Structure 1
Amino acid sequence: MKNSTILCFAFLFFSFSMFANISSSDKEVLVKLYKATNGNEWINKWDLSSSVATWYGVKLQNGKVVSINLSNNNLTGEIPGEIVKLKSLQELNLYKNNISGAIPSDIGNLSELRILNLSFNKLSGNIPNSVCKMLNLKSIELYMNALSGKLPTQIGALNQLEVLSLFNNEIVGEIPNSLYNIKTVKTLLLNSNKLVGRLSRDIANMTSLENFSLFDNNMIGQVPFELEKLGNLKEMNISYNKFNGLVSRDLAVLDVMNMKMINEEGFAVSLNVLGGRNSAIVFED
């Protein structure tokens, strides 16, 4: 009985040590994050004198930080560049705070990251090109910020991506051709930006797509009929662009706002379909 008790205590001590013995470099990065985002004003604060294993929103594994989830926690200030030193990080979720400044340019160094959610903040600047090096990413959510610039041209390298949600920013330029090659994407939300150019017929490659929104951009040209080939598509909104030409009944019905577009005079118009593709007409509201 005595030996069993000793073994039990030894096991508990060993288990605690595994969680408590965070690497000094990882702990230093967490402290930088705490101070850079005014930790004293957080809703759920960290006690820097206590074990990191007790810190709110931090998950450890084998002495390394694998997850930071501080969503809706009143973080202000900027994301410190040192955060890219957390080499084992798999999730970074800072959703719905008041973080400003830019996304660290070297964020691509977080090669193990699977979930990146910086949505609903006050971030500005470009989406760093280094994001394209994060080949394990499954979800990128950066919506409701003030991000600008163009989408990274090599974003198609993220061949495990399932969610790309960038709506309500100031992103400009054309949709990179490489994006159409990501067959795993289920949710693609690019609405309420300043995107231009044409929607490529290569959209047909995105066979897993379920939810697609380009609403409120400056896209032009013919709506590609290839959208009809996306058998998993359940919800689409590409209205309030400058698309023109013919649309089929199936595409018009699929669109949430029935293909309501902005014409050259700045008026809202609808691509009205009475029959098949060849009977599509345009009328002004």
Structure 2
Amino acid sequence: MKRILFYINLLFFVALFNSLSAQISNSEHQALIDIYNSTSGDEWTNSWDLNISPKNWHGVTIEDNRVIELNLHKNNLQGIIPQSIDDLKHIEVLNLAFNKITGEVPLEVVKLEELRVLKLEMNRLKGSIPKGIGQLANLEELILFNNMLEGPVPQSIGDAKKLKVLNLSSNFLKGILPSTLENLTELKSLELFGNKLSGTIEVDLGKLKNLTHLVLAYNNFEGGTPTGLENLMGLEFVQLQGNKFNSYQSLEELDMEGLATFDSDDINLNSKYNPARLNSKGDKPRDAKETRMADTKFEKEN
């Protein structure tokens, strides 16, 4: 009888061990460990005990034995994102924002076919945005602000047609806006503040019917201001200040009903669209740089 009980207990513990270890595939498990090792996991604010199941690791969400979310926001990650990130084949949310991550955005990230949210803002990433970023057909949020990214906004961005939020502000991006932005008809927020983008804006932003936030301030855009804005009934936040626009004719007939913030280099337009929005002295509207600095402070604090 004792022997039977022994084997029953043994089988129970074997089953328990297998259930714990089989939460995710070996490749996913190793990918998580690679992230831990390459970003100084032992120094994280909330570190992992590698001797227990990944389902109990901070920021890891597992469903149906698959990693679907990794959220290590504000967790003191220091180092690079490993190439094995593409082994998290089922991940939907990858949030490594507000850390000290260096290196480049790995090209392998474009293989994460289920990815809906990619948040890497407030790090120290260099290099360019992967050219194939548009391969992420399910992507809804791409947030990379406050890094040191260079190069152009990839043409392929227009293939990510489910994008709702695109925030590439405060980097060193150059070149013209790709015309493929017109394809992002579900886009609600387009923020490109504080880059080195230039040239005439040939994109018909009027095709982005869901757009509420448009931030193009402090770049080197020239020519006329973007066309089509007068067709956007949901605009709430517009910042065009700090460029080289020589014509503001396209902005004469904006829908003012929902417009809460408007900033440009045209004083008359600013007065027209901001009659009630004054600074603390009560004498003039707050400009785009002040507004963006306040928003960044809020983002850092939250």
TM-score range, shorter chain: 0.7 to 0.9
Distance 1:36 1:19, change over 3 A: same
Report the 3-state secondary structure (helix = DSSP H, G, I; strand = E; otherwise coil) of the residue aligned with 2:62.
strand
- Residue in structure 1 matching 2:242, options 231, 240, 243: 240
Distance 1:162 1:214, change over 3 A: same
C-alpha displacement at 1:224, in angstroms? 3.6
Report the 3-state secondary structure (helix = DSSP H, G, I; strand = E; otherwise coil) of the residue aligned with 1:236.
strand
Report the 3-state secondary structure (helix = DSSP H, G, I; strand = E; otherwise coil) of the residue aligned with 2:110.
helix
C-alpha displacement at 1:246, in angstroms? 4.0
Count of aligned positions: 255
Higher mean Cα deviation, 251-260 or 78-87?
Answer: 251-260
Distance (Å, rounded) in 2 between the aligned partners of 1:275 and 1:152: 36
C-alpha displacement at 1:255, in angstroms? 8.8
Contact 2:147–2:171 under 8 Å retained in 1: yes
Distance (Å, rounded) in 1 between the aligned partners of 2:33 and 2:223: 51
Number of the residue aligned with 2:84: 82
Distance (Å, rounded) in 2 between the aligned partners of 1:183 and 1:21: 38
Number of the residue aligned with 2:143: 141
Number of the residue aligned with 1:267: none
Number of the residue aligned with 2:185: 183
Distance 1:252 1:242, change over 3 A: farther
C-alpha displacement at 1:35, in angstroms? 0.3
Distance (Å, rounded) in 2 between the aligned partners of 1:213 and 1:274: 15
Superposition pairs of residues 148-227 of structure 1, within 5 angstroms: 148-200=150-202, 202-227=204-229
Distance (Å, rounded) in 2 between the aligned partners of 1:244 and 1:52: 56
State the one-letter code of the partner of 2:116.
R
Number of the residue aligned with 2:61: 59
Report the 3-state secondary structure (helix = DSSP H, G, I; strand = E; otherwise coil) of the residue aligned with 2:155.
coil
State the one-letter code of the partner of 1:180.
E
Distance 1:193 1:21, change over 3 A: same
Superposition pairs of residues 89-108 of structure 1, within 5 angstroms: 89-108=91-110
Number of the residue aligned with 1:265: none
Number of the residue aligned with 2:295: none
Contact 2:85–2:108 under 8 Å retained in 1: no
Report the 3-state secondary structure (helix = DSSP H, G, I; strand = E; otherwise coil) of the residue aligned with 2:171.
coil
Contact 2:70–2:93 under 8 Å retained in 1: yes
Distance (Å, rounded) in 2 between the aligned partners of 1:246 and 1:130: 34
Distance (Å, rounded) in 1 between the aligned partners of 2:116 and 2:56: 23
TM-score (norm 2): 0.79
Number of the residue aligned with 2:34: 32
Contact 1:249–1:274 under 8 Å retained in 2: no
Distance (Å, rounded) in 2 between the aligned partners of 1:130 and 1:201: 20
Q: Percent identity?
A: 36
C-alpha displacement at 1:232, in angstroms? 1.1
1:35-73 CA distance string (max 9 Å, x none)? 000000000000000111100000111211110000000
Distance (Å, rounded) in 2 between the aligned partners of 1:251 and 1:154: 30
- Residue in structure 1 matching 2:48, options 37, 46, 49: 46
C-alpha displacement at 1:272, in angstroms? 2.8
Report the 3-state secondary structure (helix = DSSP H, G, I; strand = E; otherwise coil) of the residue aligned with 1:124.
coil
Distance (Å, rounded) in 2 between the aligned partners of 1:115 and 1:203: 23
1:15-45 CA distance string (max 9 Å, x none)? x937853211110110000000000000000
Structure 2 residue runs of 5 or longer lacking an equivalent are 1-11, 273-302
